[in-house]
Amino acid sequence: MIPAHLTLQRVAGFAALAAIAVPLLILLSWAYEASWLTAVHPSFGTIKPITLLSILLCGFSLWLLSDEGAVTVTGRRAAQAGAGLACLLAGLTLAEYLFAVDVGIDLWFLEGRDIDSSAHPGRMAPSTAIVSLLLGLALLSLDHPLSNGHYPSQYAALLGGTIGGIALVGYLYGVRSLYKVGSFATISMYSATLMFLIGLGILASRPMRGFMATLMSEDLGGVMLRQVLPFAVFLPILAGWIRITAQRSGYYEFNFGVALAVAAVMLIMLTLLWFLAAHLNRTDGQKKHILQILQQREARHRLALKAGRMGTFHQDLDQQTLMFSPELEAMFGLLPMSFGSTFAAFLALVHSEDKQRVERTVEEAIRNRSAYEFECRVHRALPPSEAWIAVVAQVLPDTSGSPRQITGVMFDVTERKRSETALRESEERFRHLFEQASDGIVMADMTGQYLDVNSRACHMLGYSRDELLSMKIADLFAPHEQSRLSEILMELLEGQRHSGEWRLQRKDGTAISVEMSAKLQPDGRWHAILRDITERKRAEAGLRESEAHFRMLADATPVLVWMAGADRLRTWLNRSWIEYTGRDLEDELGDGWAEGIHPDDRATALARYRSHFGRLEPFELEYRLRRHDGRYGWILDRAVPLTTADGSITGYLGAALDITDRKHAEEQLQQWTGELEQRVHERTEALVRSQARLRALALDLSATEQQERRRLATELHDYLAQLLVVARMKLGQAKPQAREPKLQQLLNDADDVLTQSLNYTRSLVAELSPQVLYQFGLPAALKWLAGQMKTHGLAVTVTTALDRLPLEEDHAVIMYQSVRELLFNVVKHAGTDEASIVLSRSVDDLIVVTVSDRGRGFDPASMTEADRTSPGRFGLFNVQERIEAVGGRLALDSHEGRGTSITLMVPLSHAQDSAREMGSSRPTQPDSLPNPPSQRLRVLLVDDHAMVRQGLRSVLENYQDLEVVGEAGDGETAVSLAASLKPDVVVMDINMPRVDGIEATRRILSSDHTVVVIGLSVQNEHHVEEAMLAAGAAVFVTKERAAVQLYEAIVSTVRART
Q: Mean pLDDT throughout 215-235?
A: 76
Other C-beta atoms lying within 10 Å of the C-beta of residue 803: 10
Per-residue pLDDT at 549 exceeds 90? no
Do residues 15 and 89 make contact, with C-beta atoms less than 8 angstroms apart? no
- Dihedral in degrees, nearest 10, Cα atoms 837, 843, 844, 847: 20
Q: What is the pLDDT of residue 697?
A: 66
Give me the chain's average pLDDT, please.
Answer: 80
Do residues 906 and 819 make contact, with C-beta atoms less than 8 angstroms apart? no
The single-letter code of the amino acid at 849 is V
Question: What whole-number distance in Å separates Cα of residue 221 and Cα of residue 211?
Answer: 12
SS3 826: helix
Residue 96 burial class via C-beta count within 10 angstroms: exposed 0-12, middle 13-18, buried 19 and up: buried
The single-letter code of the amino acid at 914 is S
Q: What is the pLDDT of residue 917?
A: 33
Q: Which of 204-218, 442-456, 518-532, 709-723 has the lowest mean pLDDT?
A: 709-723
DSSP 56-83: HHHHHHHHHHS-GGG--HHHHHHHHHHH
The single-letter code of the amino acid at 358 is V
Other C-beta atoms lying within 10 Å of the C-beta of residue 958: 10
Question: What whole-number distance in Å separates Cα of residue 391 and Cα of residue 411?
Answer: 7
Question: What whole-number distance in Å separates Cα of residue 928 and Cα of residue 1003?
Answer: 19
The secondary structure element, H or E, covering residue 1005 is helix 997-1007
Q: What is the pLDDT of residue 985?
A: 92
Question: What whole-number distance in Å separates Cα of residue 14 and Cα of residue 8?
Answer: 10
Per-residue pLDDT at 358 exceeds 90? yes
Q: What is the pLDDT of residue 910?
A: 42
Do residues 410 and 391 make contact, with C-beta atoms less than 8 angstroms apart? yes
Phi-psi region of 651 (alpha: psi -120 to 50; beta: other; left: phi over 0): left
Question: What whole-number distance in Å separates Cα of residue 334 and Cα of residue 331?
Answer: 8
Phi-psi region of 482 (alpha: psi -120 to 50; beta: other; left: phi over 0): alpha
Question: What whole-number distance in Å separates Cα of residue 48 and Cα of residue 46?
Answer: 6
Q: Mean pLDDT throughout 227-256?
A: 79
Q: What is the pLDDT of residue 874?
A: 45
Its pTM stands at: 0.34
Q: What is the pLDDT of residue 986?
A: 92
SS3 125: coil
Nearest to 1048 by CA among 955, 982, 980: 955
Per-residue pLDDT at 873 exceeds 90? no
**477-504: pLDDT as tens digits:** 877 777 777 777 778 887 788 888 888 8
Between 186 and 474, the more confident residue is 474
| pLDDT above 70 coverage of the chain, percent | 85
Do residues 953 and 909 make contact, with C-beta atoms less than 8 angstroms apart? no
Q: Which span out of 366-370, 553-557, 719-723 was modeled with the highest average pLDDT? A: 366-370
| pLDDT above 90 coverage of the chain, percent | 10
- Report CA 286 to chain centroid distance, whole Å: 69
DSSP H helices, 716-808, are 721-734, 741-768, 771-776, 778-788
Question: What whole-number distance in Å separates Cα of residue 220 and Cα of residue 285?
Answer: 13
The single-letter code of the amino acid at 429 is R
Between 372 and 274, the more confident residue is 372
Phi-psi region of 430 (alpha: psi -120 to 50; beta: other; left: phi over 0): alpha
Give yes or no for a cis peptide into 383 (omega within 30° of 0). yes
Nearest to 898 by CA among 850, 855, 835: 855
What confidence category does residue 922 fall into, taking pLDDT thresholds of 50, 70 and 90?
A: very low
Work out whether the CA dihedral 417, 418, 419, 421 comes out positive or negative: positive
Q: What is the pLDDT of residue 675?
A: 84
DSSP state of 1026: H
Do residues 823 and 794 make contact, with C-beta atoms less than 8 angstroms apart? yes
Q: What is the pLDDT of residue 530?
A: 87
Per-residue pLDDT at 938 exceeds 80? yes
Nearest to 144 by CA among 159, 154, 157: 154
SS3 985: strand
- Phi and psi for 1057 in degrees, rounded to 5? -70, -40
Rounded to the nearest 10 degrees, what angle do helices 721-734 and 946-956 cross at?
20
Per-residue pLDDT at 979 exceeds 60? yes
Q: Mean pLDDT throughout 272-278?
A: 74
Nearest to 880 by CA among 865, 868, 871: 868
Instruction: List residues bridging with 968 in a β-sheet.
Output: 942
**673-728: pLDDT as tens digits:** 888 888 888 888 878 777 667 666 666 666 676 666 666 766 666 667 667 777 77
The secondary structure element, H or E, covering residue 614 is helix 599-615
Q: Which span out of 762-776, 880-894, 1000-1014 was modeled with the highest average pLDDT? A: 1000-1014
Strand order in the sheet with 450-453: 450-453, 440-444, 526-532, 511-520, 498-505
Q: Mean pLDDT throughout 590-600?
A: 91
In Å, what is the CA distance from 45 to each residue of 26, 168, 1044? 11, 16, 189
Q: Mean pLDDT throughout 616-642?
A: 89
Intra-chain end-to-end CA distance of the chain, in Å: 155
Phi-psi region of 857 (alpha: psi -120 to 50; beta: other; left: phi over 0): left
In Å, what is the CA distance from 429 to each residue of 423, 455, 519, 975? 10, 16, 21, 104
Rounded to the nearest 10 degrees, what angle do helices 778-788 and 1022-1031 cross at?
140
The secondary structure element, H or E, covering residue 800 is strand 795-800
Q: What is the pLDDT of residue 46?
A: 61
Q: Which of 100-114, 364-378, 963-977, 1007-1021 has the lowest mean pLDDT?
A: 100-114
Question: What whole-number distance in Å separates Cα of residue 141 and Cα of residue 162?
Answer: 19
The single-letter code of the amino acid at 826 is V
Question: What whole-number distance in Å separates Cα of residue 865 and Cα of residue 855?
Answer: 22
Do residues 723 and 754 make contact, with C-beta atoms less than 8 angstroms apart? no
What confidence category does residue 105 fall into, taking pLDDT thresholds of 50, 70 and 90?
A: confident
SS3 319: coil
Between 902 and 231, the more confident residue is 902
Question: What whole-number distance in Å separates Cα of residue 784 and Cα of residue 776?
Answer: 10
Q: What is the pLDDT of residue 698?
A: 61
Nearest to 393 by CA among 369, 417, 360: 369
Q: Mean pLDDT throughout 119-128?
A: 73
Question: What whole-number distance in Å separates Cα of residue 152 and Cα of residue 145?
Answer: 7
DSSP 964-978: EEEEESSHHHHHHHH
Q: What is the pLDDT of residue 281?
A: 74
Do residues 570 and 594 make contact, with C-beta atoms less than 8 angstroms apart? no
Q: What is the pLDDT of residue 374?
A: 93
DSSP H helices, 649-720, are 660-715
Q: Which of 435-439, 460-464, 766-770, 1048-1052 has the lowest mean pLDDT?
A: 766-770
SS3 509: coil
Do residues 838 and 829 make contact, with C-beta atoms less than 8 angstroms apart? no
SS3 935: coil
Question: What whole-number distance in Å separates Cα of residue 554 and Cα of residue 426?
Answer: 56
Do residues 1046 and 1015 make contact, with C-beta atoms less than 8 angstroms apart? no
- Report CA 676 to chain centroid distance, whole Å: 66
